[in-house]
Chains A and B, each alone.
Chain A
Amino acid sequence: MSREYAFTPKKDSDYHEELIEQAEIFSERVEMLSEASSWKDFSLNKASKELIRSFCHENIMNIVWYKAKIENEQFYRNLYNFITIILIFLIPFAIWGTTEFVNAREWKTGEKITSIVTVVLTFIFAIHKWLTAWMEKRNFISSFNHAKVELSNILFRIENDFRGFALDESGEFLTPQFKLALEKGIEDSKKVLQEDTKNYFEKLANPAFDLSGALISSATSAKQLFSQVKAESFKVEEWRKEAQDKEQREAIKKEERDTRIFDLRKLILIENTKYQALQDKILDLSDKEADLADKKESGQSLTQEEQKKLTHIQDSLVQYETNAGNLMIELAVKEAELELLLDSK
């Protein structure tokens, strides 16, 4: 049984050796060369050998190239699919994981997490969009397969038509029909190659990419995804509102307290002044009262006017003392309230 084509690409430096090997295999498959012989030992004239080698160069070696490229493209596609699946698995868990353990007291951390996760997701989505666009643009596999099939058809048709009939009766020259078939094969292979090469380079150019559009749509998707996948308990908007309401309430309370402190200080100052004025009056009256009372107690008699004055002073003193006592209580209450308000600051 004839040897199979390996269609295995080798290093550029080994290209010539591979070409010879492929030519040897081709010669064996069309039964020009026995399996025991080698290309070197092939007693064909130089022109015929060159023709076979040219065919192999234009046809078989390109099949080898396409096979390798198809495998590469398949690898990129698999890699893309793998990354996509990983992202599908990871992103929801990552969003949940970053939001589950945040509570209302840490609403500012929650806001930071929302911003950071949205930005990271936007970045990932935008990169993925670009990658998808690039993958779609470089859809080489079908054209590579097409070219490979075309080339293989040329090869296998020649093999099929000329197996056992490639050499003339002397066994040292190629038949004219085989020569023509090889020449046509070379020409057809070149055409396939030219056509595919043109397509390849058209596709190879980087895809046009609408950066701002991609970022905007990625950001929108990121926000939507975040709000749908985040932990149920993660309610930053409500938390923020509650915290702002609380701050507002505290600010109002503080303002009220400051106003009350100011009012109390004002009242204390006013009452201090009133108390002081009352005490001055009390002192003055007490002084006069003491003089008159001492006179009376020492046995001297008071005139009617002095007696009247003494009675009036004593009545006034009772009134002033009562007022001073009431003021003192009001002051004590206000001072206690002020101290408490100051302590609560």
Chain B
Amino acid sequence: MAKLIFTADDFGVVPAIDKGIVDAAEMGLINSVATFTNKDGFEKSVEILLDRSPNVEVGAHLTISSGYALTSASFFTEKGSKFKHYGNIKRPKREADRVLELVQLEKEIRAQIDKLVEVLPDRRVKHLSVHFNSLYFIKDYFDVLVKVANSYDPVIPIRSVHAKPGIKHDFFVGQMALQIAFKNLFRQKEVDHIDEFAEAIGDYAKSMTNPPKMPSLFHTAHYGPLGLAKLSERKVEKLAKKKRRKVFKSSQKLQDDEVCEYVFHLIDDNYNLLEGYRASAKSLDYHGINDKYFDSRMAELRSLKTFKQHYEDEFYPLTSWTNL
């Protein structure tokens, strides 16, 4: 039977998201959390999380496209150290600048990891993931990520470069890759074709002399739909049912020896507070978390609750990152 890791992303920034994740961990719905470390106060949230769920595995959710940089990363930031939007990721043209850019990138992601190391009781970051997967689109960036992950002792596993079998891009990656590709295509014709690397990254990772440690697959296909209109609570319920089924169905396609990380985007599922949560997220000085998907996030938490009820015997306990 395949082994599953259930990770909740985007911890450490929005209180409502943190509450949903802390509750999910406490209920045993998830066993892994990816936290941002570039927002003041994330330390307190991690402390609460670990206080209530000591066994949950906390990893760093690295970012170069949300919030503010911890170091002087001028190639990735706008005025005032604010990270650029992921759609505006562009590589410098001059070779010397590219070298400098990669030095800045390494320094920044090390700073983000080390900030989490200081908070964790065992001083071990259990896994690394990247917000919007933005280090998975450019080969040089991916090399830096792997280099940094492999430089820790023990090596920190990263999120898999393989989406679920048979699908080149899942919903989330596909949408983002398209946006970035289009913007770069029009704006700067000579830049790296990042969408092409996103296609080739699986083979590339296998060919590396010092490849990253990672699960066999990752899965986010249950994310969505596009947050075009606010869902009614009835629709949230239906969506939760759908997501639960989707996770189950996809798990049935996994091979016995595979380890698949399921990535969830959660928030406290009190529907009556949805508008309040949206308003409070808007007031945060942190871009990169879209409040349009908050109703969908509620559905994901509800889907996890029913998933455990339906399939506890089959899938729980979940697999640890340390067993990779």
Contact = CB atoms under 8 A, between A and B. Distances in A.
Interface of A: 272, 275-276, 279-280, 282-284, 286-287, 289-290, 293-294, 297, 324-325, 328-329, 331-333, 335-337, 339-340
Interface of B: 87, 171, 174-175, 178-179, 182-183, 186-187, 225-226, 228-229, 235, 238-239, 241-242, 244-245, 310
Contacts of B178: 329, 332-333, 336
Nearest to A284: B238
Given A324-B225, A340-B187, A329 B242 contact: no
26 contacts: A275-B226, A275-B228, A276-B228, A276-B229, A279-B225, A282-B242, A283-B235, A284-B238, A286-B239, A286-B245, A287-B242, A290-B245, A294-B310, A324-B225, A325-B171, A328-B171, A328-B174, A328-B225, A329-B178, A332-B175, A333-B182, A336-B87, A336-B178, A340-B182, A340-B186, A340-B187
Contacts of A286: 238-239, 241-242, 245
Nearest to B176: A332
Given A289-B245, A339-B183, A340-B187, A329 B174 contact: yes
* Chain B CB within 10 A, most for which of A283, A297, A337: A283
Given A283-B235, A283-B239, A340-B186, A328 B245 contact: no
A337 B245 CA distance: 35
Contacts of B226: 275, 328, 331
A261 B174 CA distance: 24
A108 B183 CA distance: 38
A324 B242 CA distance: 15
A290 B225 contact: no
B133 to A, nearest CB: 16
A279 B186 CA distance: 31
A268 to B, nearest CB: 10
Nearest to A271: B228
Contacts of A337: 182
B251 to A, nearest CB: 13
Nearest to A294: B310
Given A272-B228, A328-B226, A287 B238 contact: yes
Nearest to B239: A283
Nearest to A286: B242
Contacts of A329: 174-175, 178
Contacts of A340: 182-183, 186-187
Contacts of B310: 294, 297
Q: Which 9 A-B pairs have the closest CB atoms?
A: A286-B242, A336-B182, A283-B238, A290-B241, A287-B238, A332-B178, A279-B225, A290-B245, A272-B228
A340 B188 CA distance: 12
Contacts of B245: 286, 289-290, 293
Nearest to B187: A340
Contacts of B239: 283, 286
A336 B225 contact: no
A189 to B, nearest CB: 100
B261 to A, nearest CB: 22
Contacts of B244: 290
